[in-house]
Amino acid sequence: MPGNILNVSAFLNQQADVELYNEIGKEFFRRFSDSLVTRILTIEASGIGIACVTAQYFKVPVVFARKFRGRNLDGDQFSATVTSYTHGIDYTVTVPRPYLRADDSVLLIDDFLANGCALDGLIKLVEVAGASLVGAGVVIEKGFQSGGKRLRDLNVHLESLAIIDSMDSEKGITFRDS
């Protein structure tokens, strides 16, 4: 789609292919199984299903950072600002303090990585909670955008299941060999 937007709504984030999600969860478990993971953190909304399936393999809870504050939450929360590549807006994500503790080892899970702003916000939440970051697993990385390289340069253990090197409406999509 225009603006380097890849529409995966038929299987990943509008309609969920649960069998695919299960394979994604297994693969993230395989790639991060040598790390102690006590909690999985994602951002609403598209990452929640993938994070939940992944969490079954780690046998840990999933926490998701909310983009909008619910009335049933008190003010005792961690927060970070995120810029949405897809929507072109800034928003504040929050996690209630009891759900992210200093003794946690946190694995981040998300559907897409473009410029890395969502993961930056999640990393900030882990930092302000005093928790340890295990790494980040993303289903699809846009390798032609800066997020993956920048996060790897910051020594974040980043695992992307598919990396797109180029997208063109006429030439199609080129994937990186993994």
pLDDT tens figures, 108-143:
999 989 889 899 999 999 999 999 999 999 998 988
Indicate whether 152 pLDDT > 70: yes
> Could you give the 3-state DSSP secondary structure of residue 136?
strand
Is the pLDDT at 8 greater than 70? The verdict is no
- The pairing of strands 77-83 and 90-96 is antiparallel
How many Cβ atoms from other residues are within 10 Å of residue 92's Cβ? 15
Whether residue 146 has pLDDT greater than 70: yes
Burial 34-46 (b: 16+ CB within 10 A, else e): eeebbbbbbbeeb
Asked whether the beta carbons of 134 and 32 are under 8 A apart, the reply is yes
> Is the full-model pTM beyond 0.95?
no
So what's the pLDDT on residue 166? Answer: 75
For 138, list phi and psi in degrees, rounded to 5: -125, 145
Higher pLDDT, 120 or 2: 120
Residues 28/109, Cβ–Cβ less than 8 Å: yes
Q: Give the end-to-end CA distance of the chain in Å, rounded to a whole number.
A: 25
Say yes or no to pLDDT of 2 above 70.
no
Please give the backbone phi and psi of residue 39, each rounded to the nearest 5 degrees, phi first.
-160, 145
The fold of 9-175 is Rossmann fold (3.40.50)
Under 8 Å CB-to-CB from 159, ≥6 apart: which residues?
28, 31, 32, 135, 136, 137, 138
Q: With cut-offs at 50, 70 and 90, classify the pLDDT of residue 74.
A: low
Rg over CA atoms, the chain: 16
Give me the residue spans of the domains in the chain.
9-175
